[in-house]
Amino acid sequence: MDQEILRENDTEQKKRLVNEMQIVFESKSENEGFARTAVASFIMPLDPTIDDLADIKTAISEAVTNCVIHGYEMRPGKIFLDAAIWDRTLVLSITDEGRGIADIAKAMEPMYTTKPELERSGMGFSFMEAFMDAVEVESAPGRGTRVIMQKAIR
């Protein structure tokens, strides 16, 4: 991506930390709406545009849905959502401890899906990349996946 993800351990950036939160919830489809609403409420002090809200909520939906369907394969598990505001930039981290991704580059290709029987479009990562300023994926088979996304609120 064009922009580098802001990191907590960067002391210069840490000076600009405005707010942060962490939520842990069950890997159930119905919690996708909860995650969207929680982050939308969290960023309200930045006075985001309707378009910014829609973009962020769509990216969150895709990341949480990936945790539920691919990470845990519809089985019980925990999803960890971390959000931080650095000046006027939102940084999100959505993590599962599920099956992980063997080939991240392949998984991020548009139209690639491991669940065609569920009528998955394979566009989740593409949507995240389209609606956010930066997206990184960290994963290891058997150890889970972490998606880090960033968006400036102007």
Set 31, 32, 36, 66: catalytic member = 66
Active site residue 136: no
Active site residue 62: yes
Active site residue 73: no
User: Chain-centre distance of CA 140, in angstroms?
Assistant: 17
Set 88, 120, 136, 138: catalytic member = 120
Sheet-wide strand order for 144-152: 17-26, 78-86, 89-96, 144-152, 134-140
Set 32, 36, 62, 99: catalytic member = 62
From CA 56, how far away is CA 28, in angstroms rounded?
A: 20
Q: Where in the sequence numbering do the catalytic residues fall?
A: 62, 66, 120
